[in-house]
Amino acid sequence: MTEALGLTSARWKVIGVIALSNSGLTVPGIARVLGQSRQAVQRITDVMVTDGLLSYQTNPKHKRSVLVVLTEEGKTAYQALRDVQDPWAIRNTEDIPIEDLDAGLRLVHRLIQKFDK
Amino acid sequence: MTEALGLTSARWKVIGVIALSNSGLTVPGIARVLGQSRQAVQRITDVMVTDGLLSYQTNPKHKRSVLVVLTEEGKTAYQALRDVQDPWAIRNTEDIPIEDLDAGLRLVHRLIQKFDK
DNA sequence: CGACCTATGTCAGCATGTTGTCATTTGACA
DNA sequence: TGTCAAATGACAACATGCTGACATAGGTCG
């Protein structure tokens, strides 16, 4: 799904997190949201900045830890992604009772919470 | 969980597949069961043979594609794994109604089947 | 039997993720 | 204000996975 847009799943995740934030996130911040190491995120964002999807912005609250924001190209990619993914998600779930999906989601959350302990 | 046994999750997966087979599997066969590339499995099994967990056995049905079998050390590791994982699985699910777990499993299977289409 | 497609082994390059280490910046606290 | 722990950046080593490519073995069909 991401391939047609020139993205990969890892970049998709990063774009998604940033798109849902208001004023940009630091690299370690993105890592915390994704539950990944900051080093892994750093590598991805560096490449994405090179590719023009993201840009680093001065962080008024921290001298070294810059904020990661979407460029116009990044925002376009995010929207293109949504235009593909949303219909896909609907297509694959529309014939399943909402109660079933909800119960499944609650079960998964419950298990995750147990595993984190 | 695997770390204490000197294993990794990738090796765990391979051992599990082989343990459930009767007379050994070929590398591409393991890959098909796991839904992974044969190259990825080949790399893992090569290391595991070096480490003494697996051994390659002549395949009467194929000159080049050998069978992968568990060594005694491999069987011991598998059992040690089960001794840790089974209680863990029970511990994390015993207070959840079996109907809920079953419904969740059916939902996941249903979604996977949709995604595969 | 020979041609041809498929399966397999093998090597290479790449993407994604982890952990460990060390220097530097931040921020809280005595 | 000085100290010190936590957070961050940066680099390295490694594990796991993918795809592509090429040669060889297996099996089917004319």
Query: Distance in angstroms, CA of B65 to C1' of C8?
Result: 7
Query: In this structure, are residues A9 and A2 in contact, taking their beta carbons and an 8 Å threshold?
Result: yes
pLDDT tens digits along A38-92: 999 999 999 999 999 999 999 888 888 899 999 999 999 999 989 999 999 999 9
B52 and B45 Cβ atoms separated by less than 8 Å: no
Mind telling me how many Å the CA of A93 is from chain B's nearest CA? Answer: 8
Residue whose entry in the numeric block shows the structure tokens 């090569």: B46
CB A15 within 8 A of CB A102: no
Q: What is the DSSP letter of A52?
A: T
pLDDT at B116 over 80: no
| For range B47-71, the mean pLDDT | 92
Beta bridge partners of B54: B70
Ranges of each domain in chain A: 3-116
- Please name the member of B103, B111, B115 whose beta carbon is closest to the beta carbon of A103: B103
Contact assessment for residue A30 and residue A17, using Cβ atoms and an 8 Å cutoff: yes
CA A60, A64, A66 angle in degrees (round to 5)?
60
Distance CA A71, CA A54 (A): 5
Q: By the 8 A CB rule, do A69 and A27 touch?
A: no
pLDDT of A117 higher than 80: no
Question: pLDDT (tens digit, 9 = 90+) per residue, A96-109?
Answer: 999 999 999 999 99
- Chain-centroid distance, C-alpha A84: 15
B117, pLDDT greater than 80: no
Residue of A nearest to B103 (CA): A104
B31 CA: distance to closest CA in chain A (Å): 22
**What CATH number labels B3-116?**
1.10.10.10
Neighbours of A70 (CB within 10 A): 20
The amino acid at residue A35 is G
